[in-house]
Structure 1
Amino acid sequence: MSAKRALLATAAAFACLTATACVTTTNAATSPGGGAASGYPVTISNCGKDYTFNTAPSRVVVMNGGSVAEVSSMLALGLGDRIIANAQSYGASDVPGRVDEIAKLPTGGVKLNDMMDIPREAMIGLRPDFVISTYDGGFRPEAGFATRDDLRAVGANSYAPASSCLGVGKVSGTPSIADSYQLLRDLGKIFGVGDRAERLIAESERRIATMTAKVKDLPKQKVMLIIPGMAMGGEFSSVGGNGIWNDIFAKAGAENAFAGVTDDIFANLSREQVAAADVDALLVVNFMSQDPDADARKLLDQFPQWDAARTKRYVVLSDSIYFGPSNDVAVERLARAVHPEAF
């Protein structure tokens, strides 16, 4: 696969990171914190099929799909020891120690395919009891992946966010931080650690509420989000459109400078559109960049008419701006960047 095609595949996968996991659950007994006590079996419905867990999974495979939301959620819930093979990595994180935690996880010795993911025969050979994919395309037979039925036949349940039920790159509704919380809750139910999930969610909600209270009466700052290392066409084809980041912006006292330009995850803009926009602050997403700060400065130098260029106001984020367990980090860092007067 060429570098350009690899980036396109990654971008398509990122488009699936912002939707709620399509899960309903039933179990025999639950603890007050929401986790299973001795109450297995637990049954979930995911993308139209039911999956029953008689015990918490112990041989988990996490597919790539261009995400770290799933593996990061597993780690945040203290479930890293259940993973026998992880294909997700990003190389950067806004959470101290997260990159090293992910790097230490087993890979299962798998030779990844051209999409940098786990092919069918290798997947079956891992003997998993639970496979997590970022998107339903991770179970496509035409792409050489093990199907959900293949996995069920060897005793493995499977899971993917609900956006994949609609097709690759499509999202259901407006992506929000609540979707990230749903992923934590789903995994909490599946693994019987719902109490841990609820504690993580409550702490995230508390931190976000604190930030929102500090900036709620201040003017909304217009922010342009761009991923310099992930151009999918033109120079400005990876500008943030309808993504989870818009909810993060709102809670940080900001708004997307290109709100309404597209219903897609990313906007593909002309240089003229970018030059004419009101941009109070720049958010550069670190995607395989050697120097994201230099990327930010280069963009600010190109558009000296922006308020962001005059004030040199920008922030670099990585995984926290996406679907995953760390959106509170993004809210805090963005709020401090766009409203320093509040801190």
Structure 2
Amino acid sequence: MKRLGISLAFSLIASTALADVTVQSCDRQVTFDAPPKAAISNDVNLTEMMLVLGLRDHMVGYTGISGWKTLDEKMREGVAELPELSEKYPTKEVLIGADADFYFAGWNYGMRVGGEVTPETLEPFGIKVYELSESCIHIGEKPKVSMDDMYNDLLNLGRIFQVEDRAEALVEGYKAELAEFTGSLETGEPLDVFAYDSGEDTPFTAGRYAMPTAMIEAAGGRNILDDFEKSWAKIDWETVVDRNPDVVIIVNYGNVTAEEKMDFMRNSPALADIDAVKNDRFVVLEYVEATPGPRNIEAVKKLANGFWSN
């Protein structure tokens, strides 16, 4: 009996050790002794990452979607049983009031540097935070964006929620699908591409660290602002004109439609001589396709078709 007791004790210690999972989140290491049971995700793309991993039963809600965007049919079905706890960025009180134990967000994806909702401000309330990899540039250095940023988040979520096999299979599937597509893609010299998110006086766009840069490259193009040491940020129209993109990506969301954004560029005398505008070379990506998430592979295909079908 004594030997059996010792054996059971060692088994208990071993199983407890196996339950501890540590992941890298931007410049922090975060340890979990069990999968979160009351998770909240911010923004449509992060929420979709949770859903594609089958984690809805671990969630108590989501935030930051309807204040800017609309859900398509696929997403409405995915979150049908979950409440939206805040239309835009949640307050600390919203997260605490939901008894959350986990917040999946990012810098400028539900958290602001110096804001009231950060990993440090939530820690005393037992709410652990995992930060979107793409967003880490806002608090320190990181490599240029790549598809690995999105893969990394799915794999880390898999570890956190102990669905590693599911996450690994998903990522391997995405990698194989992308490799097969790009391997058969017939391209010419890389096209110069500008990603137009929003703004008329000054455009909000994707720089070196924003996901469209990686997707543009996978589709056989080059972001004209791949030397812009920012993620999503404002630039001036003069730079866009000087770099003369062959194609413009329109990010579709919010109150200004994709067609209205295209019409603004078509009707602006300052932009009339850009090759993309003269040749009416526009490709529309939905917000959920242009930001890190499960729809990025299909978005690469959409870009490639827009780049090379004409």
- Does the TM-score normalized on the shorter chain lie above 0.5? yes
SS state of the match for residue 227, structure 1? strand
Shift of 1:286: 1.2
Distance 1:322 1:127 in 2: 28
Is residue 2:11 matched to residue 1:41? no
Is residue 2:288 matched to residue 1:288? no
Distance 2:272 2:121 in 1: 55
Shift of 1:249: 0.8
Matches within 5 A, 1:210-249: 210-215=180-185, 217-228=187-198, 231=199, 235-242=201-208, 243-249=210-216
Amino acid aligned to 1:130: F
Amino acid aligned to 1:285: V
Change (3 A) 1:92 1:253: farther
Shift of 1:218: 2.0
- Which of the residues 276, 301, 304 maps onto 1:332? 301
- Structure ranking higher on relative contact order (CA contacts 8 Å, 6+ apart): 1
Change (3 A) 1:339 1:142: closer
- Structure with the bigger percentage of strand: 2
Matches within 5 A, 1:141-220: 143-145=115-117, 148=120, 150-151=122-123, 153-161=124-132, 167-168=138-139, 170=140, 172-215=142-185, 217-220=187-190
Distance 1:147 1:207 in 2: 35
Amino acid aligned to 2:64: Q
Distance 2:109 2:246 in 1: 38
Distance 2:108 2:237 in 1: 35
Identity of aligned residues (%): 23
Distance 1:207 1:238 in 2: 31
Distance 2:211 2:111 in 1: 24
**Does the 8 Å CA contact 1:92/1:319 hold for their aligned counterparts?**
no
Amino acid aligned to 1:258: L
Distance 2:308 2:21 in 1: 45
Distance 2:225 2:108 in 1: 29
TM-score (norm 1): 0.72
TM-score (norm 2): 0.79
Paired positions, count:
290
Matches within 5 A, 1:21-100: 39-46=18-25, 47-54=27-34, 56-62=35-41, 64=42, 67-89=43-65, 91-92=69-70, 97-100=74-77
- Which of the residues 110, 121, 126 maps onto 2:93? 121
Larger-Rg structure = 2
Aligned to 1:299: 265
Structure 2: runs of 5+ lacking an equivalent? 1-13
Aligned to 1:12: none
- Which of the residues 294, 307, 314 maps onto 2:282? 314
